Chains A and B, each alone.
Chain A
Amino acid sequence: MLPIKIDLHIHTNVSDGTDKPEELLSKVRDAGFDVFSVTDHDAVKAGAVIRAGLKDGDPRFIQGAEFSCQDGDGRYHILGYGFDPDGEAIKNVIELGHSYRMKKTAERIDFITREFGFEFDKSEIDAILALDNPGKPHIAKLMQKHGYAGSIREAISKYINGIRFTEEYVRPEQAIEGILKSGGIPVLAHPFYGGGDDLILADDMEKRLIRLIGAGLRGIEAFYSGFSVKLRNEALGLAKKHDLLVTAGSDYHGENKNIKLGDTNLAEYGKMPEGMKRFFEILDIGL
C-alpha cells in the first residue's frame, strides 16, 4: 500500500458538494491527507477560504477547479491545478461559463412556458436566476413542485430538453487556454467518462486525447474512484504513450454522492507513477 494520501478531485458546496470549504479542510486534516485539491465546478471560491484556514502541519493544498466543457464531439470535464485564482484568464473562463449558463437557463424557462404553457411566479424564476450556477435540475424541481412533471427525469427529458444549445458552451480549448495562461496545469478529468456520464473508449478516447493535447492539455486523471482496474491501466498506458502528467481524484461530493473522500484507487496500485511524480514536482510539492 502507498503510504501517501491524496485526493485531487473534491467538490464543496461552492458547487454541488455538501461540505462547506472549512468543513472539508477539517475532514482532510483529520483523515491525515498529504495533499488535496478542491475542484468545484466552474468556481474557485473555496480556495481562498481553505488557504485562510491552513495551519502548520496541515495537508498541502493545491488550488483547483473543474470546468464543464462541450463541443460538437461531446462533453468534457477539464481540471485545472495550481493556477492563480485571481488570474485574468481563469476569471474570463469562469465568467464565460457563467454567462452561457444564465443565458441558457433564461431561454429554457422561456421555452417551456411558451411551448407548453407552464406558468411560474416571477419570484420563482428570479430565485433560479439569482443562483450562482442554475441548471436543468433547478427548473425541473420547480416544474415538479407545480405538478407539471411527475419526476425530475420526466421534466428534463420530456420538456426542458426540447430546446437544445450548440454554441453556448465553454469549449475545452478555452478552458485549457485559461488554465495555462493563469499558470496552471490542465488535466482531463475521468477521461473515459467524458462529461461525467459518457463512455468514451478505445480509439475514440485516444483521438479525443490527442486533440486536447494539441490544445495544451498536460495530464489525465488516471486514478479515479469510478474506474475499473482495466480503465485505470488504459489511462496509465495513454499517459505513458503521450507523455502526460497523472493525477488521482475521487470526485467526492459530500452527502450528494456516495463517494468516499480519498477513494482514488491509487493506494491499491501501490506506487506513484512517473507522471504523478512529475506533477508534484512541477507544483513544487515534495512528498
Chain B
Amino acid sequence: MNDKIIKISGRIDSENAASAEQRILEQLAGAGDVVVSLDASDLVYISSAGLRVILRLKKAYPKLKITNVNAEIYDIFDMTGFTEMMTVEKAYRVVSVEGCDVIGEGFNGKVYRIDKDNVVKTYKNADALAEIQHEREVAKLALILGVPTAISYDVVRVGDSYGSVFELLNARSFAKILAKEPDKFEWCVTEYVKMLKKIHSITVPEGRLPKIKDKTLKKISRMKDTLPDGLGDKLYGMVQAIPDTDHMVHGDFHTKNIVLAGDEVLVIDMDTLSTGHPIFDLYLMYNAYVGFYEFDHDAVLSFQGFDYDTSVRFWKACLSAYLGTKDEKKISETEDKIHCLSYAYMIDRDRRYNGVSANEDSHVGIFTAKLIDVLGRIDSLDFELSEIPKEAEKELETDAITDNLDVVTDFVNAHLDAAGCSLKTRSQIDLAVEEIFINIANYAYAPNTGKAVVRVDLKKDPDAVAITFSDRGIPYDPLKKPDPDVALAAEEREIGGLGIFLTKKVMDEVAYEYKNGQNILTMTKKL
C-alpha cells in the first residue's frame, strides 16, 4: 500500500478549515484504501476547527498519519488526545554538517562535530530512523549494564537522511591519540584492554542482544565449501562448538569507537553489541588492525590515522595485555584460533564484494592457503576465559544527578534480580538506594555536579548484598545526623534526617568512611 502524502501549510482555523478540508479531499478523490500522510512541515498553527478536519479525515481514512509536526503543534495534538488516536510524528530539527569536522567514519555513516560540545552521527541507510532507534535502545541497555557510553539525546535531519546527536565534550578517539601522541601508546593499550575486559565481563539478560555466533556462522556457511578436504565443515563445526555465553561483546571494538571525553573513556557505536565468546571480538579486532590491510598497508593510515606498523604493534600489545601473558607460545596459540575466523571472514568478504576467484595469487587464494594451514593445527576455537575478571560489572559510575536515579536503581535491581531477591526486599533496598543517591546528587557537589560510583557485591552463604556508594564531594557522614524523633508529628520534626533513618531501618547495616578523598557509604542486607 502506498502513502498518499498531502502537504498542509500555514494556518488552519475556522476561516479556512472548510477550504483546507476540501482541498485535501480533492487530492484524495479516487485514492482508494491508502495511508494518508499529512505533511505538516509548513503548518504553523491549527485551531480546533483544524482539529475537527483531521478528526473527520481520520474517520474516513483510518490509517491517517501526520508527519513533520513542529513542537508547538505537537503539544496541541498531544493535549487533545490526537497523538493517542493516530500516528503523529514530530518534525526533526535540521542540522547542516557542511564544513564540520569529520571526527569518525564507519561503514554506515560519518560522525561530525557540530559545535564544541556536540557531535552528530549520520546514517547512510534508507531506514536510518529504525537504526537510530535500535542503537539508542542498545546504548541505553549497555549503560544500565555498566558500559560507559554516550546516549544520543536528539534525532535530527541531515540532508536527505537522519542523524543522532550526542554530547561529547572534548572527545578524542583513541585512533587520533595514537596518531598524534605516540608516547600515549602504552596508556592507550591499558585503557583499551581495560574497557574490552569490562565489556566482556558483563552479563546480559537473556534475549536482549543478538548472539554474535549466529552472524559468524552465516559467514562461514557462505564460504566453507570453497575449502578442500572437509576443512570447511571442520571450521563450521568448531564455530558451532564455541561455548555460548551470555557475556557482552562489542562487535566493532576498534580505536575509532573508543573515545576519551574529558578524563573518561567511552565506547561508542553500539549498534553491533551482541553476546558471545570473546573470540568474536578478538577476530574482528584483528581484521580492523591487520586483516583488512595486509595487502594495502596505506589504507590503515587513511582509516585510523596511524600507520600499519603502529596498527600491528597495537594489536599485538592489546592481545598480550588482554590474555595477561607475554608468553609468545600462548599468545600465538590463541592467535591461531583468531586467524581461523579472521581469514574465513576475509575470504567471505572478498568473494562477496570483489567476486574474486580463488586462484593462488589472489587475496582470496592467499587467505585460503593461510586458513588451510592453520586449520591443520587447530581443533578448538575455545580458550580459557578465567583471566577475565568479573569485577567491572559490579560497578556503575554515573553523574550524580537526580535524573540518573533510574539508571542506578535499574543497575542495582539487575543484580538483585539475578540473585533471586524477593520483591519486598528489593523495594526496601530501592528505597535506601534512592535516599543515598539523591542525597549525593543534591548535596555532595552542590552547587556543581560530579560523579558517583555505585558498587554491588553479592555474597553467598548466607545470601546478602552489599551496596557501596562513593563520591568525591564534600566530606559528609550522614550517619552522624541524629535520628529524628518519629514520635513527633511530621510538622514538628526537624527537617531532614528521615531519609537516612529509613535507610538504617530497612538495611541490616550501614557504614560510612572518608578515605582517599572519597565519601564511602556501604550498606548491607540479607537477601
A interface, CB within 8 angstroms of B: 152-153, 156-157, 190, 192-194, 196-199, 201-202, 225-231, 233, 256-259
Chain B residues contacting A152 (CB-CB under 8 Å) are 15
Query: Do A197 and B13 touch (CB < 8 A)?
Result: yes
A202 to B56, CA, bound (A): 24
Chain A residues contacting B1 (CB-CB under 8 Å) are none
A256 to B55, CA, bound (A): 17
Contact of A225 among B15, B16, B52, B81 (CB under 8 A): B52
Q: For chain B, residues 47 to 85, give those with C-beta under 8 angstroms from any C-beta of chain A.
A: 47-49, 51-53, 55-56, 76, 79-82, 84-85
A192 to B18, CA, bound (A): 20
Contact of B81 among A193, A197, A230, A259 (CB under 8 A): A230
Whole-angstrom distance from the CB of A153 to the nearest CB of chain B? Answer: 5
Query: Do B18 and A228 touch (CB < 8 A)?
Result: no
Query: Do A199 and B48 touch (CB < 8 A)?
Result: yes
Query: Do B79 and A198 touch (CB < 8 A)?
Result: no
A/B interface sample: 26 pairs, CB < 8 A: A153-B15, A157-B15, A193-B48, A194-B48, A196-B14, A196-B49, A197-B13, A197-B48, A197-B49, A198-B48, A199-B51, A199-B76, A201-B79, A202-B79, A225-B55, A227-B55, A228-B51, A228-B55, A228-B81, A228-B82, A229-B81, A230-B81, A231-B81, A258-B53, A259-B52, A259-B56
Known contacts A156-B15, A226-B55, A258-B56; is A198 also within 8 Å of B84 by CB?
Answer: no
Query: Do A192 and B48 touch (CB < 8 A)?
Result: yes
Q: Does B21 contact A (CB under 8 A)?
A: yes
Chain A residues contacting B56 (CB-CB under 8 Å) are 225, 258-259
Contact of B84 among A226, A229, A257 (CB under 8 A): A229
Query: Do A258 and B84 touch (CB < 8 A)?
Result: no
Contact of A192 among B14, B49, B80 (CB under 8 A): B80
Chain A residues contacting B48 (CB-CB under 8 Å) are 190, 192-194, 196-199, 226
* Contact indicator per residue, chain B 84-115, by CB within 8 Å of chain A (1) or not (0): 11000000000000000000000000000000
Knowing that A192-B48, A228-B80 touch, tell me 10 more A-B residue pairs with CB under 8 angstroms. Answer: A153-B16, A193-B48, A194-B48, A196-B49, A199-B47, A230-B80, A230-B81, A258-B18, A258-B21, A258-B53
Contact of B85 among A196, A226, A228, A258 (CB under 8 A): A228
A6 to B295, CA, bound (A): 81
Query: Do A197 and B14 touch (CB < 8 A)?
Result: yes
Closest residue of chain A to B47, judged by CB? A197
Chain B residues contacting A231 (CB-CB under 8 Å) are 80-81
Query: Do B47 and A228 touch (CB < 8 A)?
Result: no
Residue in A153, A196, A258, A259 whose Cβ sees the most chain B Cβ within 10 Å: A258
Enumerate the 6 nearest inter-chain pairs by beta-carbon distance, A residue then B residue, closest first.
A230-B81, A228-B81, A226-B52, A197-B14, A193-B48, A197-B47
A256 to B16, CA, bound (A): 13
Whole-angstrom distance from the CB of B29 to the nearest CB of chain A? Answer: 14
A157 to B10, CA, bound (A): 15
Whole-angstrom distance from the CB of B474 to the nearest CB of chain A? Answer: 41
Closest residue of chain B to A157, judged by CB? B15
A184 to B295, CA, bound (A): 93
* Contact indicator per residue, chain B 1-40, by CB within 8 Å of chain A (1) or not (0): 0000000000001111010010000000000000000000
Chain B residues contacting A226 (CB-CB under 8 Å) are 48, 51-52, 55
Whole-angstrom distance from the CB of B311 to the nearest CB of chain A? Answer: 59
Whole-angstrom distance from the CB of B18 to the nearest CB of chain A? Answer: 7
Residue in A199, A225, A229 whose Cβ sees the most chain B Cβ within 10 Å: A199
Whole-angstrom distance from the CB of A38 to the nearest CB of chain B? Answer: 21
Whole-angstrom distance from the CB of B188 to the nearest CB of chain A? Answer: 55
A218 to B12, CA, bound (A): 32
Residue in B21, B47, B48, B79 whose Cβ sees the most chain A Cβ within 10 Å: B48
Whole-angstrom distance from the CB of B236 to the nearest CB of chain A? Answer: 55
Known contacts A152-B15, A258-B18; is A199 also within 8 Å of B52 by CB?
Answer: no
Closest residue of chain B to A224, judged by CB? B52
Chain A residues contacting B21 (CB-CB under 8 Å) are 258
Query: Do B14 and A230 touch (CB < 8 A)?
Result: no
Closest residue of chain B to A154, judged by CB? B15
* Contact indicator per residue, chain B 312-334, by CB within 8 Å of chain A (1) or not (0): 00000000000000000000000
Chain B residues contacting A229 (CB-CB under 8 Å) are 81, 84-85
Query: Do A201 and B52 touch (CB < 8 A)?
Result: no
Chain A residues contacting B81 (CB-CB under 8 Å) are 228-231, 233
A153 to B47, CA, bound (A): 15
Closest residue of chain B to A257, judged by CB? B18
Closest residue of chain A to B49, judged by CB? A197
A153 to B153, CA, bound (A): 41
Closest residue of chain B to A201, judged by CB? B79
Chain B residues contacting A190 (CB-CB under 8 Å) are 48
Chain A residues contacting B53 (CB-CB under 8 Å) are 258
Whole-angstrom distance from the CB of A267 to the nearest CB of chain B? Answer: 12
Chain A residues contacting B82 (CB-CB under 8 Å) are 228
Known contacts A228-B81, A258-B56; is A198 also within 8 Å of B47 by CB?
Answer: yes
Whole-angstrom distance from the CB of B484 to the nearest CB of chain A? Answer: 36
* Contact indicator per residue, chain B 361-388, by CB within 8 Å of chain A (1) or not (0): 0000000000000000000000000000
A38 to B76, CA, bound (A): 31
A117 to B18, CA, bound (A): 31
A192 to B48, CA, bound (A): 9
Closest residue of chain B to A199, judged by CB? B48
A152 to B49, CA, bound (A): 17
Chain B residues contacting A225 (CB-CB under 8 Å) are 52, 55-56
Closest residue of chain A to B17, judged by CB? A197
A137 to B81, CA, bound (A): 32
Chain B residues contacting A233 (CB-CB under 8 Å) are 81
Query: Do A230 and B15 touch (CB < 8 A)?
Result: no
Whole-angstrom distance from the CB of B16 to the nearest CB of chain A? Answer: 6
